[in-house]
Chain A
Amino acid sequence: MQNQLSAAALTDCLPALQRFALQLTRNPDRASDLVQDSVERAINKAHLFDGANLRSWLFTICRRVFLNQIRSEKTRGIAVELDDAPQSRISTDQTQEHTMHYHDVAEAFERLPLNDKVILSLVVIEGLKYEEAADLLEVPVGTIRSRLSRARARLLLMVEGEQMEEGTKVAAQV
């Protein structure tokens, strides 16, 4: 366990998480597997937990794990033993999670102020060096660094905020 994520707090949330997983899967066995996967993911990502609302955070993780599973199942043919599975199939979940995250980033980016979009686009998408961006925008390099940092902070807050909000809405229903 790391940071603010304590075993006791996690254990307190398990009954609600189990109910939520059951609501999603409508199958007790699958719900238990989903809870286990979600808790494992939460422990691995404990450093990302901000300490505010563990239940919401767990629900968000659970929902994402579940979405990854059903998307994976849509493309899955017959079940095979893990040892026999092609590597591309094993990495499908991870790829889908990345794709979902990328959509979140793009959606949040749309809501940024224009100045934030410009600086992020120049450096991250167009690959300009800080010095090149500074020359083009006619500002010192230090200004580029601080503008980038503020833009990233806002973008990160929006992406993480959306994820927390999803979890809170779902938590209120269970």
Chain B
Amino acid sequence: MNRPVELITNQDLEAYVDGEVHGMRRKFIAQRLETNARDRAAVDSFLSLNNGLIAMRSCVYRDLELADALRSILAKRAA
């Protein structure tokens, strides 16, 4: 591909939603979203999942197996 910057995958869109894309690449994706309905719909879906999980955080963490797993993983960061 002559212009690889134009190759945008779902993982790129997810990274964009997660704030993992910066600089020119972020600007390029933002511009593309203005004209590409499919990518815009994908970003809307990812954003809505993220918002749903954040809003329902207390429900999500009622899962004790998950809470334990996260506690032990995050403990490594604190160490």
Complex interface bits, B7-50 against A, C-beta within 8 A gives 1, otherwise 0: 00011001100101000000000000000011011000110111
Determine whether the beta carbon of A101 is less than 8 Å from that of B52. Answer: yes
Give the contacting residue for B54; candidates A2, A124, A129, A146; CB below 8 A: A124
A66-102 CB contacts (< 8 Å) to partner B = 98, 101-102
Nearest-neighbour CB distance to chain B for A161, whole angstroms, equals 13
Q: How far is the CA of A123 from the CA of B53 in the complex (A)?
A: 11
Q: Provide the residues of chain A in CB contact with B10, threshold 8 Å.
A: 149, 153
- What is the number of residues of chain A that contact chain B, defined by CB distance less than 8 Å? 36
With a cutoff of 8 Å between Cβ atoms, the chain A residues found around residue B46 in the complex are 152
- Give A112 to B78 CA distance when docked, in angstroms: 27
Query: Is A104 within 8 A of B52, CB to CB?
Result: yes
Asked if B74 and A126 sit within 8 Å, CB to CB, the answer is yes
Known: A104-B52, A136-B76. A145 touches B70 (CB 8 A): no
Partner of A114, one of B18, B20, B66: B66
The answer to whether A17 has its CB under 8 Å from any CB of chain B is no
Q: How far is the CA of A61 from the CA of B4 in the complex (A)?
A: 39
Chain B residues with CB below 8 A from A152, complex form: 14, 46, 49
Contact A103 B14 (CB under 8 A): no
Q: Are B51 and A98 in contact (CB under 8 A)?
A: yes
B34 nearest CB across to chain A (Å): 14
Interface residues of B (CB under 8 A from A): 10-11, 14-15, 18, 20, 37-38, 40-41, 45-46, 48-57, 59-61, 63, 65-66, 69-70, 73-74, 76-77
Residues in A lying within 8 Å of B, measured CB to CB: 2, 47-48, 98, 101-106, 109-110, 114, 117-118, 120-126, 129-130, 132, 136-137, 145-146, 148-149, 152-153, 155-156, 159
Top 9 nearest A-B pairs by Cβ distance? A105-B52, A106-B56, A102-B52, A47-B41, A102-B55, A106-B59, A117-B66, A124-B53, A149-B11
